[in-house]
A and B are shown apart, each in its own frame.
Chain A
């Protein structure tokens, strides 16, 4: 259904690089939001990013699809440089799906229309084709029966699943998640996480900003800890949680794991 799962025998680190961030610098005015960020994400790899509020997690993933423009270093997505040409930008945005904390569904369009708009306008699919694909992904996130409702008629968890389906309809090579469960009532967190877990199992390349450490343990290949615009520490979840190297990481994990 999705991008075919990479052979599980190949370790993530040996698969081709899907996203390369090298020495990325980002300023908001004079505020230095990303400081020399280096990050390679391989095909099929699942990355979880955590860190205190204001540490630059959103900024980092928003630079990947150029919702924010970086000023230094380079970002390459599937061979295309971000920020060099507007053609390149279109290509990157069409291949990178994004899910937001606040869902950002289009309130004046039905669930189905939310899902078919970009495939029709960007990929040039015929309405029937786009609808077939949309229904496939709505089934995938287990809400095909809501297709003709408006977003305002759905629960938060349902809306976020629609947002995931909407992004998947573009058949992206990478999915970015920016705290997808933070705006949800506790009883709806699980349905969204389950959707993300099943996506991970299908081999989707994913970068998730989240504080759901259970999710990180279960699916992440690597957990990245950011603070003050820098990547402070990274590692596979087992070592990351058991033996955090830096004091800042320990303090942060202490705060979020014991409350």
Chain B
């Protein structure tokens, strides 16, 4: 029995946006936290730590996000832990985002001139102080624009969580489409909503790039 596409269906779609946003937020906060660790490991003085972080990045950048979500979701089920789809998607996206943010931020850290390291080392500052007071504040300026740019990608990536059954915007679209059988209309609206979420972020990223694009020296 095919239903009509009414305002109820429309609001069902719109209300699913909060799950997309929630998942994006969790993955971003988690990914940023873990990503900072990855970036610091990648730029650390210890070879084994750099190699470990490098392997992590290689694996998560080199395999499809969808497979990572599957592995987290079904992997957890296999060991007997029942994860709900939100948790599985959040974990998968966090691990993935950490690899990408880690790599972006590694570049930002390494873009800080060697003289800054040398001057702070020569002053007797220790690694933690050097990082916190000298390197990271300068790297952060360069990092904001590409980080917001990555956030746009992350919001769109959350649509893959639909495949493991998490009802975010895309999954809501599939549900509505199954009932109304108006794919073009439904997915057109879904796409438009994603666009409405991402476009301001893209604009913001471009604005930030203009503002921080050149590091003040």
Contact = CB atoms under 8 A, between A and B. Distances in A.
Contacts, number: 63
Contact of B122 (A98, A102, A117): A98
B217 interface: yes
Contact of A108 (B115, B120, B126, B137): B137
B138 interface: yes
B216 A93 contact: no
Contacts of A97: 122
A121 B124 CA distance: 9
Nearest to A97: B122
A67 B124 CA distance: 11
Range, interface on chain B: 20 to 34
Contact of B123 (A150, A151, A167): A167
Given A117-B125, A152-B216, 7 more contacts: A98-B119, A102-B115, A103-B115, A106-B133, A106-B134, A107-B215, A108-B141
Nearest to A169: B123
Contact of B121 (A67, A107, A121): A67
Given A152-B216, A152-B217, A104 B125 contact: no
A90 interface: yes
A108 B212 CA distance: 13
17 contacts: A67-B118, A67-B121, A67-B122, A90-B126, A94-B124, A103-B115, A104-B113, A104-B119, A106-B116, A106-B134, A107-B138, A117-B123, A118-B125, A121-B125, A121-B129, A121-B133, A122-B123
Interface in A91-127: 93-94, 96-98, 100, 102-108, 117-118, 121-122
Interface of A: 65, 67, 90, 93-94, 96-98, 100, 102-108, 117-118, 121-122, 150-152, 163, 166-167, 170
B200 to A, nearest CB: 28
Contacts of B116: 104, 106
